[in-house]
Structure 1
Amino acid sequence: MTFDGLNEVDSGNPFVGRYFRIKFSPTSGFSRIGNEFAEMQLNMTVLKDDTRLGAGLSQYMEFLMV
C-alpha cells in the first residue's frame, strides 16, 4: 500500500510511505447516510516481508520525504 500525502510538520512538503505487506481487517462500519460523503473505516496490520533482505532495509515499510 502506498500513502501519498503532505508532511504538515515539515512545512507541507510531499511525503510518500510504502507498506510492503498489509492485512485488512473487516470494516467496523460503513456510513452512507449523513451530511458528509460516505465513510468507511478500515483497520490494517502491517506484516513482515521476508523477501526484502539487506543491511539497513526495513521488512515492513519505507518513507520518502521529498
Structure 2
Amino acid sequence: MSKQGGKAKPLKAPKVDKKEYDESDLAYLQKKKDEEKALKELKAKAQKGAIGGSGLKKSGKK
C-alpha cells in the first residue's frame, strides 16, 4: 500500500535564461508587433462597420 495520497505535485520548470537579441532580431520583433497591432485595428474597424451598418432592411408588407 502506498502512503502517498492525493495528487502528486508537478515538477518545477527550470528557470529560463533571458535571451539576448541583436539589432536585426529586435527590428524583426518590432515589425511583427506593429503588424499585429495594425491587424487588430482593422478587425475592430470591420466589426464596427458590420454592426453600425444598415444591412438588409425587410419590409413588413407582403
Larger-Rg structure: 2
- Compute the TM-score of the two structures, normalised by the length of structure 1: 0.23
Higher relative contact order (Cα pairs below 8 Å, separated by 6+ residues) = 1
Higher helix share: 2
- Compute the TM-score of the two structures, normalised by the length of structure 2: 0.24
